[in-house]
Chain A
């Protein structure tokens, strides 16, 4: 019982803020017989072409597209699973736990390789590496760091340039940031040294990639760590100003995933939507029309593949583990 009270207490503040979306759009005719409600962490601009493509030839369907942060998606959806038909997020761990907890239904007639799906319910549709984005103003050409080690060295060498001008996800707020941080921490101790160095330089903390990119362009940031490179590439106002570095020591590659809610009343349409999404993202297509990075099985040169969709993703979602991790992370970054 105590647990339930704790849960209610934990969820209570969300009830008020749940309706405040980062973005909210409707597609298709308002008079459509059936409306598909999509809860997503992906910016509307990146996703709109896929929705429009889906609605082509389906005059009786409309789509409502709600955008919010990855951590909020988990909270909002768990609080009211009836309100959404399709859930899309880049926080693979939260998505997997939702599916594990029975919030999804399998999608029929969609066959994907094992690494790109879980339980035939959760389907990956992009592969996107976490990158280091650098403001060219801070580095002379050819001195741009290519690894985390080099980044640490560069920041240590010129703290005056970077103080207050380095940024990364606030793992306490961002589900994706937490996923990236925990996977980094699994991969190498370098992550903790990097966090300590960034913490020592009064790192700024962000909710999302978009905000970091904005500050990079505004000159408020010189380096941002674990930014989604795809978001930078999708913006045409940054050419020449920012450089995207894929850390060559070890990559952290995330897959956006989607599933159909088990409480949906339009399962046919929701499943069709997920099928369409995977089809667009895996088939041959025009990058100009569909700006989202495709789903590709390409293994990085270091031999490391994407973060796998497996129950182990739930490890760091454990409250005890999370508490420990956040504590360590805070003591490194916030100091």
Chain B
């Protein structure tokens, strides 16, 4: 279970990166589109003014005594005043002859009739925008084509564009910042159900293999379905193996009893000491196997009951005293005194069968390891939480193995010549865990082991 998961990439990073990346792309696109559009608008603003200027000059063109006169108004140029004091150039042509203005100013070929042609060009070292229009003046004996061009440098326009670029840049950056916030929010929202599922599975008890019941988004349904069916299969297979063990133990125990009684009977009959010795060893081995099978059965029973815990109110002190009464004959065989210390009733909600089983396992353990003519103390506490401490005067737990002892089939190093399956502590711990408590192993400073069974 502790094997490192093969992690490749991160959904959150991928999602954030995609969202933020597209936001950045859109922000840049927005910047260029708006800037281009604004530039067009600004340019068309300048074009409009140039157009008005050209028109006002062209309108002033008349034939006076056969000559072209262009008495254009003051406003024709005054409207071209800009904040950046842009330079103004113009040219008035009659057919191919310059009437006045700047001869070198590039002239676009404008159709007659006053339609305006706009071009951009360089003039006198500066970029200029030129508007040109032409008009036909029909005189007595000639048609005169008057062409007017007005040009203006683009300093003010450049200034406006810079201002626009700055503002659009700020807007783009703001949009991007907002998008990053939205992206992180969206990512979190998208990932949250996954985290919730992970959390709910992590929080489960070790034996909880029930299907996930919480609603999940449709995209996660296949995963959860697979997970549920996987857990169901696991549950079934676990149950099957537990059943198998219980069945096997049961089937072994009954013939063992028969074998034991036959061995006992035979022991009465044989005379030779070496034969008797062999039979005694046999009985001893049978006892050990029988006890192991019993504990396996107990364990299977406990596993089942822990999964379907049925609690009832009971007095822990009563329970402990009953247990002591039941085990006292066994203890007396080793001259061990069983003492119960308590101060009044200790009420708990628990499964009495499980509790009895767990505590008797603990006491039996203590009896096994305690020396003859010693004392085993069972002390029941009510506060802060109900608990039972079982203390003996034996050798104590081997310190470096203490945390492994509660595992199944594990026995201490000093248990070599003691009958046991290694399931006793496991059973006690399972019962404690099923009740929401725990089992703690300690060694007493004055010698002896102490097991705390906390509910």
Which residues of A line the B interface, CB within 8 A?
2-3, 100-102, 114, 118-120, 186, 308, 310-315, 318-321, 324
Among the 9-residue stretches B99-107, B284-292, B441-449, the one with 4 or more Cβ atoms under 8 Å from chain A is B99-107
**Distance in angstroms between the alpha carbons of A186 and B76 in the assembled complex:** 14
Contacts of B125 in A (CB 8 A): 102
- Indicate if the CB atoms of A320 and B70 lie closer than 8 Å: yes
Assess whether B74 is in contact with A100, with CB atoms less than 8 Å apart.
Answer: no
Q: Is the CB of A320 within 8 A of B88?
A: no
The residues in B between 79 and 101 inclusive whose CB is less than 8 angstroms from any CB of A are 80-81, 83, 85-89, 92, 97-101
**In the complex the two chains form, what is the Cα distance from A305 to B70 in whole Å?**
29
Q: Check A102 against B77 for contact (C-beta < 8 Å).
A: no
A118: chain B residues within 8 A (beta carbon): 85
Contact A315–B74 (Cβ < 8 Å): yes
Q: Is the CB of B78 within 8 A of A310?
A: yes
Question: Would B69 and A315 count as touching, CB distance under 8 A?
Answer: no
**How many angstroms between the C-alpha atoms of A329 and B103 in the bound complex?**
28
Contacts of B86 in A (CB 8 A): 311
Task: Name the A residues within 8 Å of B322 (CB-CB).
Answer: none
Nearest to B87 among chain A residues (CB) is A100
Q: Which residues of B contact A319 (CB under 8 A)?
A: 99-100
Complex contact B77–A320 (CB within 8 A): no
Interface: B175 (CB within 8 A): no
List chain B residues, Cβ under 8 A from A120.
85
**B74 and A311 within 8 A (CB):** no
CA gap between A298 and B78 in the complex, in Å? 22
Complex Cα distance, B122 from A37, in Å, reads 32
Tell me, in angstroms, the Cα distance from A2 to B96 when the chains sit together: 11
* Closest chain A residue to B78, Cβ basis: A312
Q: What's the minimum C-beta distance from B125 to chain A, rounded to whole angstroms?
A: 7
The number of chain B residues touching the other chain, given as a range, is 20 to 34
Neighbouring A residues of B85 by C-beta, 8 Å: 118-120
A310→B81 contact, CB < 8 A = yes
Q: List 24 A-B contacts (CB under 8 A).
A: A2-B97, A101-B124, A102-B87, A102-B124, A102-B125, A120-B85, A308-B81, A311-B77, A312-B74, A312-B77, A313-B77, A315-B74, A315-B77, A318-B72, A319-B99, A319-B100, A320-B70, A320-B71, A320-B92, A320-B99, A321-B70, A321-B72, A321-B100, A324-B69
Chain A residue nearest to B85 (CB atoms) is A119
Not counting A315-B76, A318-B101, a sample of 15 additional A-B residue pairs whose C-beta atoms are within 8 angstroms of each other reads A101-B124, A308-B81, A310-B78, A310-B81, A311-B87, A312-B74, A312-B75, A315-B72, A315-B74, A318-B70, A318-B100, A320-B92, A320-B99, A320-B100, A321-B100
Least Cβ distance of A15 to chain B in Å? 22
Q: Please report which residues of chain B, range 41-92, place their CB below 8 angstroms from some CB of chain A when the two chains form the complex.
A: 69-78, 80-81, 83, 85-89, 92
Within the complex, what minimum Cβ distance (angstroms) separates A319 from chain B?
Answer: 4
Contacts of A313 in B (CB 8 A): 77
- Residues 173 to 230 of chain B near chain A (Cβ within 8 Å): none
A contact residues around B97 at 8 Å (CB): 2
CB distance from A307 to the nearest CB of B (A): 11
A321–B98 contact, CB under 8 A? Answer: no
CA distance A324 to B80 in the complex (A): 23
